[in-house]
Amino acid sequence: MAAVIAAGEIGFWVLIAAGLAVRYLLRARRTSAVLLALVPLIDVVVLVATVADLSGGARANFTHGLAAVYLGFSVVFGPSMVRWADVRFAQRFAGGPAPPPKRRGARHEWREFFKCLLACGLAAAALLAAICAIGEPEQVAPLWGWFPRLGVVSAIWLATGPVWEELFGRREEVRR
């Protein structure tokens, strides 16, 4: 399973790079659109491999839970990662404008935190679906351990993102 997840992450970036290379170097926008549209297929492959492994009687382990977390975060953060790469690729290879300055501020951090919560929620739903579908307590016991981990990830994100920015971020001067 670890190899499937690693291959999924590599495939994610390979499809993005191929899609952007085709778009900006070969000027084939339709082919690029198809390649970029295939990026979510990586999530489906990881999910199917996980389900097949567990359905085949494998005892759930750390990597099965990691697959669910990968799925949640990839679905939620994948589109913004593609946009990030697109802007930089366009600038480098197609004379596009420079990337916008890095977003800062509490508003941005809160938005990213809520994306984290959504990703954790999707991961939790995938974990629950696997737990319910398999139904054998011994087989799925390690998956239950991922729920506290998701809580820890969310708490750390909250503390180091929006709360930190609210308390210690740059304050814009009030204009009078």
- Least confident piece of the model among 6-10, 79-83, 170-174: 170-174
Give this prediction's pTM. 0.86
Residue 80 placed within a domain = yes
Residue 81 in any domain: the answer is: yes
- Find the domain containing 65 and state its range: 40-168
Question: Residues 92-126, buried b or exposed e (16+ Cβ, 10 A)?
Answer: eeeeeeeeeeeeeeeeebbebbeebbebbebbbeb
> Is position 144 within any domain?
yes
Instruction: Flag whether pLDDT at 165 surpasses 70.
Output: yes
Mean pLDDT of all residues in 17-42: 93
Distance CA 28, CA 141 (A): 48
Q: Domain total for the chain? A: 1
46-63: pLDDT as tens digits: 888 988 888 888 889 999
Q: Specify if 16 maps to a domain.
A: no
Domain-located, residue 162? yes
Answer for the pair 157, 113: CB distance below 8 angstroms, yes or no: yes
Region at 150 (left for phi over 0; alpha for psi -120 to 50; beta for the rest): alpha
Q: Is residue 151 part of a domain?
A: yes
Question: In this structure, are residues 118 and 76 in contact, taking their beta carbons and an 8 Å threshold?
Answer: yes
Q: Is residue 147 within 8 Å of 106, Cβ to Cβ?
A: no
Contacts of 141 (CB under 8 A, 6+ apart): 60
Specify if 1 maps to a domain: no
The DSSP code for 169 is: S
* E-assigned strand segments in 5-88: none
Beta-carbon count within 10 A of 40 CB: 15
pLDDT interval class at 173 (50, 70, 90): very low
Question: What tens digit of pLDDT does each residue of 98-146 get?
Answer: 998 887 899 999 999 999 999 999 999 999 998 998 888 888 899 999 9
Q: How far apart are CA 165 and CA 73, in angstroms?
A: 22
Residue 95 in any domain: the answer is yes
CA distances (Å), 118 to each of 73, 79, 115, in order?
A: 8, 14, 5
